[in-house]
A and B are shown apart, each in its own frame.
Chain A
Amino acid sequence: MKFQLWIEKHTTQITAITAVLIAAGYASKYLLQLPVAYALLLAVASIIAVVPIALHAISALRVKVISIELLVTIAVIGAFVIGEYNESAVVTFLFLFGNFLEQKTLAKTRASIKSLTAMAPTTAELVNDDGSVETVDVDDVEEGDVVLVKTGGAIPVDGTVIEGQGYTDEAAVTGESRAVTKNTGDSVFSGTLLSDGYVKIKATKVGEDTTFGKIIELVEDAQDTKSHAEKFIDRFAQYYTPAVLIIALAVFLVSRDFKLAITVLVLGCPGALVIGAPVSNVAGIGNGAKRGILVKGGEAMDTFAKVDTFVFDKTGTLTEGKTALADAKVYGADAAQILTQTAAVEALSDHPLGKAILNAADAQGLDYTKLSISASQTLKGQGITATVDGQEICAGNQKLLAAHHVTLNEQQQADLAALQATGSSVVIVAVAGQVAAIYAIADTIRPELADQLAALRQAGAKHLVMLTGDNAQTANYVAEQLGIDEVHAELLPDEKVTYVKAFKDEGRTVAFVGDGINDSPSLATADIGIAMGSGTDVAIETSDIVLMQSSFAALVHAYKLAKKTVMNTRENVAIAIGVVAFLLLGLIAGFIYMASGMFVHEASILVVIFNAMRLINFGGREKEAKKVPNLTAVK
């Protein structure tokens, strides 16, 4: 097997030698008038060049696969036997040279992923128990180990800072290049860079378990997850190649023309057909990966291109999800006291509205942590109830209050309506069965969103839907601002799933866009689940497309990219089929022979690869540069 490895490594040189021999052969025929030298040189070229091809053919045969190499090998040996040395030499050379070019161009289509994996650190500075530091392979770091990272270093693990501080650039994980401050206790991610500082990190996740490791694995798997078209072509090729062998045999038996039979073998190679569809997907997925758009394979690409209905979750998707207390109406209680009590209750949840109240309480310097809390209960889609210092407090929406038989008086009704009309979300707080306060919490709509949604429509989206757990007035306000077609408000998470299902039953192809935090069921139910702006494990697992940047520009790009990729795949399949048809016609008409047939084949393979390569730069290179200032301006 050493021989085969050696040949494998030196195929490029063999190709070059073959080229020189063929050139020398033709030179001796036409310049030196030496037909014997011509035949001899071409025969030698054929023998040398057929070796690597035949080796591939044999090792494939061992595992019962009839490969293209086998067809070529038989054809070349056949041509050699009947003394057509020029045909055999040129065919082998073109095949090897074609493979060489294929390898180079394929590497280009894979470059985006390569640049991603290249960011993965290979070594780590491990801190031993005695405080000494040694450099080890990143695979040898285990959970619980402590590693040291200095300025300019790549962070080798997911973990927590236990000493020191600095700034990291988390572009590898969030797709967003900006400095993030890290102090003791903060989480850091593998693959991100410490642009400044000095930190010791305790590893919580290592290797493939880190967020970055998962992203790499996802993209690598995605490139090889085949679309329906690819699976079909694979199955087709499995039978097609042996069929060519049988057809060639039949041709020989019928026509008794040996040369015609071996020509059929060469012309029948399925080259461009096999490579055409996968290469489009690889290039398309690579284009996305460079922009922080992770598409999980050819099938997701296909389905996404067919999507006509986009369903959006409101909070954190259409709005920024960074809520702030905008207004407060207090009824007969001390404003500070009621805010403290509300904060104590909201501290129990991680709801965005609750966070806004906690932030407001913190900003006013209220200490809500000392209050005693008991009998707390969180009702999904309603709010929270708890007993705070002996008083029953309900904080939530109208459903929650209705369930606790709390009614709003006329003044409160009017205030509520006025607050909601501004597009704010409200939290109504009742103490001991009496409404004590109404808090208006505003969540800003993402900037330029109306334009982005219009772009989405232009790209082919027919129906835009918003689903939200928020109240109808807020929802309508947001929808109106954005030009959304259909709104459903005051929904529980499982009701969102029902709507997604209903849309699918209507025969639509549905994409659900959410932040991936509490909408996993909807992400999983939709034809295409798109998780926006989070590299959380759950989001990566349940969705079909992950947008690492929380940006609608990325969504629009991903949609256009999917359509473009599917179109590109179709073009390639059409080119491949066209070439086979052309060759057959040429053979019948008598202007195509072995060498010219092989030339057309190899040329068509390059054409489909080049066609796919157009996808790599789809959307322009300068776009990435433009995005960053946009984002910082928003913050």
Chain B
Amino acid sequence: MNKKISLQLDELTCPSCLTKIEGAVKQEPGVENVKVLFNAGKVKADFDDTQNSADNLANVVTKLGYEVKKVRVKDL
């Protein structure tokens, strides 16, 4: 089933972080509509929970070097 994930990160300051995070999350399987909110420090995306999980997506962002402070998942 499709879910909507929202990750709250620390403050983002470099515009290139944005492209980086967006690119990395997009490459994950079953993920669509990735949006990185630079000013709010949030990553939002839709994903298919048969192909991916919220934990994995949070992990992908953490691996890029950004601390994930809060994860919210909502059914679509």
Contact = CB atoms under 8 A, between A and B. Distances in A.
A binds B: yes
Contact of B16 (A5, A55, A56, A221): A56
B39 interface: yes
Interface string A91-110: 00000000100110011001
A5 B65 contact: yes
A98 to B, nearest CB: 11
B19 A60 contact: yes
A65 B20 CA distance: 7
A5 B20 contact: no
Contacts of B39: 110, 113, 220, 223-224, 278, 282
Interface string A134-158: 0000010000000000000000000
Contacts of A102: 13
Most chain B beta-carbon neighbours within 10 Å: one of A62, A63, A64: A63
Interface in B23-76: 23-24, 35-40, 42, 62-67, 72, 74
A68 interface: yes
Nearest to A221: B37
Nearest to A241: B16
Contact of A224 (B20, B23, B38, B74): B38
B16 A65 contact: yes
Interface residues of A, number: 35
Given A1-B62, A103-B11, A68 B37 contact: no
A68 B14 CA distance: 9
Nearest to A56: B14
A275 interface: yes
Contacts of B17: 56
Contacts of A67: 14, 16
Contacts of A56: 14, 16-17
A123 B67 CA distance: 23
A68 B67 contact: no
A372 to B, nearest CB: 46
Contacts of A68: 14, 16
A333 B28 CA distance: 76
B67 A5 contact: yes
B16 A208 contact: no
B67 A274 contact: no
Contacts of B19: 60, 63, 65
Nearest to A65: B19
A377 interface: no
A346 interface: no
A110 B42 CA distance: 13
Contacts of A443: none
A59 B16 CA distance: 10
A362 interface: no
B46 to A, nearest CB: 14
Contacts of A313: none
Interface in A269-316: 274-275, 278, 282
Contact of A278 (B11, B38, B42, B67): B38
Nearest to A117: B40
A234 B13 CA distance: 15
A275 B63 CA distance: 26
Contacts of B74: 207-208
A617 interface: no
A62 B17 CA distance: 12
A215 to B, nearest CB: 13
A103 B39 CA distance: 11
A65 B63 contact: no
Nearest to B25: A63
A4 interface: yes
A485 interface: no
A278 B39 CA distance: 9
B68 to A, nearest CB: 11
A63 B40 contact: no
Contact of A139 (B24, B40, B72): B72
A186 interface: no
Contacts of B35: 224
A327 interface: no
Contacts of A234: 15
B20 A1 contact: no
A176 interface: no
Contacts of B24: 62-63
Interface string A103-135: 100110010010000000000000000000000
Interface string A187-209: 00000000000000000000110
Interface of A: 1, 4-5, 8, 55-56, 59-60, 62-65, 67-69, 99, 102-103, 106-107, 110, 113, 139, 207-208, 220-221, 223-224, 234, 237, 274-275, 278, 282
Interface of B: 11, 13-17, 19-20, 23-24, 35-40, 42, 62-67, 72, 74
12 contacts: A55-B65, A59-B20, A59-B65, A60-B16, A67-B16, A208-B74, A220-B42, A224-B35, A224-B36, A224-B39, A234-B15, A278-B39
Q: Which 8 A-B pairs have the closest CB atoms?
A: A63-B23, A220-B40, A67-B16, A223-B39, A4-B65, A224-B37, A103-B13, A65-B19
Given A1-B63, A113-B40, 4 more contacts: A64-B23, A65-B16, A68-B16, A220-B39
